[in-house]
């Protein structure tokens, strides 16, 4: 049930007058309409005039859907049930979570949020459902699941995940088959009172199952989480648009044109592409590769993400800020989620870079992120260039279990860096806390064409893998995925030449420290 309230004059002047039925009112007076409506076209409302005694009941037509203007898809049409969900507080909070975390520090336009992305994914899921011939029930399910898929994200989305993993009470949580934000999504769908009012319990469970990492109807899973899912189809276009880049662009209508819904001999239906669609898909997979390398894994973005994670760890473990720990200490309860849902990107940054925390370790990094005073990249090397014994340790250096080893290495690195550069920090703090060594992996472009077990199939007889059907992808070396180790530090330089000189000076000694200390 949804409570509606609006001024009659505004309603009438907005052109909705014709949708009224059986209403008596004084058109010269300003009348408030209060009522309750289900997802039906007509409902009974109570109309109250300014004179409290003058009450009467009337039946009105309520809008069946809402149409939202969107820069990517132009018009996104939502039905009444979906409209109720987006009006819930749990969904509205997605407006406070930027889709690309700190990418706006590189691409100033990239301030779009999980809110409009979720609307876009719902829209694309609907287009896919129509193209693939889903029935009404399947269409409803995939649209709702798509709409709700990001509901559990916290401030700075995926960056929060690492803090949640670190401080959550895993003993109180289900086995580690879910990411924490996915568990939070599940709990919100099941327990949020406003969402529960909009969705029957059976629907809530079906949505949770459809979004979960486990089993389910393959064709529905293909739309929600696979190499061609609605999520990617929206974010590639949306992220490109807001970043002002062309890396993620692909021909969405043409991609949908070449998709097909094929039954295998066992009767299971799966998503494939028509043989003539191989080049369309090449464009899509390359778009994903480029947006990953140029936006998501942009060198500045890697630094900002690591700064935020380090700021949270320092805030919790060194500065002992209870409020910060409470934000990430997920215990599976709805009480936690109520607190968690009150935080967004801006609130997190502003709260912990405020004067209240000045002089604290975390404050240095939080305020650096707020003011774009970032750590600098002073070293980068593929781990394959280290000895075989050192590679594994360096690749895993950012994992919590290696915290002591990492800290030891960072202290050694600071000593070396201080010999060659001016280190900028808050007076009275140990600057080694702001030296960060980080290991990460970039998937090969070929791996971008599939998701773990799920590969894209081309509808030949018999079906073949997209990677085999594509001459372009066939020629790409499978081995080209690389793990890198990088070092960030609070150093200052004035010119690009100084930066290059510093990196050259530091390259050999840092490599030696990493090689020696990681074994």
In the complex, which residues of this chain contact other proteins (CB under 8 A)?
175-177, 213-218, 221, 264-268, 270, 383-384, 388-389, 391-392, 395, 441, 443, 447, 452-453, 455, 457, 462-465, 467-468, 478-479, 481-483
Q: What DSSP string describes 254-280? A: HHHHHEEEEE-TTS-EEEEE-GGGHHH
Contact assessment for residue 232 and residue 456, using Cβ atoms and an 8 Å cutoff = no
Residue 258, both tokens: 């070449």
Contact assessment for residue 348 and residue 324, using Cβ atoms and an 8 Å cutoff = no
Contact assessment for residue 114 and residue 181, using Cβ atoms and an 8 Å cutoff = no
- Distance, in Å, from the CA atom of 14 to the CA atom of 29, rounded to the nearest integer, reads 17
- Please, what is the minimum distance in Å from the beta carbon of residue 165 to other proteins? 13
Nearest residue (CB) to other proteins, 218 versus 332: 218
- Please, what is the minimum distance in Å from the beta carbon of residue 469 to other proteins? 10
Nearest residue (CB) to other proteins, 326 versus 384: 384
Contact assessment for residue 95 and residue 86, using Cβ atoms and an 8 Å cutoff = no
Nearest residue (CB) to other proteins, 149 versus 433: 149
Nearest residue (CB) to other proteins, 58 versus 396: 396
Let me know if 352 is exposed, middle or buried by CB neighbors in 10 A (0-12, 13-18, 19+).
Answer: buried
- Distance, in Å, from the CA atom of 305 to the CA atom of 375, rounded to the nearest integer, reads 11
Nearest residue (CB) to other proteins, 109 versus 213: 213
Nearest residue (CB) to other proteins, 266 versus 497: 266
- Please, what is the minimum distance in Å from the beta carbon of residue 446 to other proteins? 9
Instruction: Label the pairing between strands 464-465 and 65-70.
Output: unpaired
Instruction: Label the pairing between strands 457-458 and 269-273.
Output: parallel
Nearest residue (CB) to other proteins, 216 versus 275: 216
- Please, what is the minimum distance in Å from the beta carbon of residue 132 to other proteins? 17
Q: What's 30-84 look like in SS3?
A: CCEEEEEECCCCEEEEEEECCCCCCEEEEEEECCCEEEEEECCCEEEEEEHHHHH
Nearest residue (CB) to other proteins, 63 versus 275: 275
CA dihedral 104, 110, 113, 116 (to 10 degrees): 180
Nearest residue (CB) to other proteins, 434 versus 484: 484
- Please, what is the minimum distance in Å from the beta carbon of residue 474 to other proteins? 9
Nearest residue (CB) to other proteins, 196 versus 464: 464
- Please, what is the minimum distance in Å from the beta carbon of residue 93 to other proteins? 28
- Residue 514, strand partner residues: none
CB neighbours of 257 closer than 8 A, spacing ≥ 6?
277, 280
- Please, what is the minimum distance in Å from the beta carbon of residue 179 to other proteins? 10
- Please, what is the minimum distance in Å from the beta carbon of residue 403 to other proteins? 16
Let me know if 413 is exposed, middle or buried by CB neighbors in 10 A (0-12, 13-18, 19+).
Answer: buried
Residue closest to 137 by CA, chosen among 215, 65, 230, 220 = 220
- The three-state secondary structure class of 21 is strand
- Please, what is the minimum distance in Å from the beta carbon of residue 210 to other proteins? 12
Nearest residue (CB) to other proteins, 117 versus 206: 206
Q: How many CB atoms sit inside 10 A of residue 451's CB?
A: 15
Length of the chain counted residue by residue: 519
Q: What DSSP string describes 378-392? A: EEEEEGGGS-HHHHH
- Please, what is the minimum distance in Å from the beta carbon of residue 214 to other proteins? 5
- Please, what is the minimum distance in Å from the beta carbon of residue 55 to other proteins? 53
Nearest residue (CB) to other proteins, 52 versus 267: 267
């Amino acid at each position: 049930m949804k409570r509606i309230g609006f001024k009659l004059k505004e309603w009438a002047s907005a052109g909705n007058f014709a949708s009224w039925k059986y209403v008596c009112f004084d058109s010269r007076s300003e009348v408030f309409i209060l009522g309750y409506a289900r997802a039906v076209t007509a409902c009974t409302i109570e109309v109250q005039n300014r004179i409290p005694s003058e009450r009467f009941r009337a039946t009105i037509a309520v809008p069946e859907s809402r149409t939202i203007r969107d820069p990517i898809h132009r018009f996104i049409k939502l039905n009444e049930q979906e409209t109720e969900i987006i009006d819930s507080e749990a969904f509205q909070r997605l407006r406070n979570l930027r889709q690309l975390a700190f990418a706006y520090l590189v691409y100033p336009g990239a301030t779009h949020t999980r809110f409009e992305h979720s609307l876009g994914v719902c829209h694309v899921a609907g287009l896919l459902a129509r193209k693939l011939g889903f029935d009404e029930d399947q269409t409803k399910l995939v649209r709702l699941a798509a709409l709700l898929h990001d509901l559990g994200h916290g401030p700075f989305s995926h960056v929060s995940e690492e803090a949640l993993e670190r401080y959550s009470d895993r003993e109180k949580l289900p086995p580690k088959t879910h990411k924490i934000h996915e568990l939070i999504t599940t709990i919100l769908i099941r327990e949020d009172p406003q969402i529960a009012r909009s969705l029957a319990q059976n629907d809530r469970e079906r949505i949770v199952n459809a979004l979960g990492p486990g089993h389910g109807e393959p064709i529905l899973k293909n739309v929600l989480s696979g190499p061609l899912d609605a999520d990617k189809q929206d974010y590639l276009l949306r992220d490109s648009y807001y970043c002002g880049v062309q890396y993620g662009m692909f021909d969405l209508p043409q991609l949908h044109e070449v998709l097909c819904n094929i039954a295998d001999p066992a009767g299971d239906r799966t998503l494939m592409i028509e043989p003539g669609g191989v080049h369309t898909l090449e464009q899509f997979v390359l778009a994903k590769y480029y947006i990953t390398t140029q936006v998501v894994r942009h060198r500045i973005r890697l630094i900002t993400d690591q700064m935020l994670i380090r700021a949270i760890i320092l805030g919790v473990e060194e500065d002992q800020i209870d409020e910060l720990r409470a934000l990430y200490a997920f215990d599976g309860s709805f009480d936690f989620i109520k607190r968690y849902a009150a935080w967004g990107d801006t609130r997190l940054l502003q709260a912990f870079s405020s004067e209240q925390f000045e002089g604290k370790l975390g404050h240095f990094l939080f305020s650096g992120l707020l003011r774009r005073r970032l750590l600098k990249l002073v070293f980068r090397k593929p781990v394959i260039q280290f000895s075989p014994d050192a590679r594994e340790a360096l690749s895993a250096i950012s994992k919590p279990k290696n915290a002591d080893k990492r800290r030891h290495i960072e202290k050694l690195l600071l000593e070396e860096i201080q010999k060659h550069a001016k280190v900028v920090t808050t007076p009275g703090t140990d600057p080694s806390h702001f030296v960060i060594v980080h290991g990460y992996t970039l998937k090969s472009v070929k791996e971008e064409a599939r998701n773990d077990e799920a590969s894209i199939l081309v509808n030949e007889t018999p079906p073949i893998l997209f990677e085999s059907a594509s001459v372009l992808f066939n020629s790409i070396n499978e081995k080209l995925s690389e793990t890198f180790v990088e070092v960030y530090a609070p150093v200052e330089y004035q010119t690009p030449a100084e930066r290059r000189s510093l990196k050259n000076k530091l390259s050999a000694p840092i490599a030696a420290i990493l090689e020696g200390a990681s074994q």
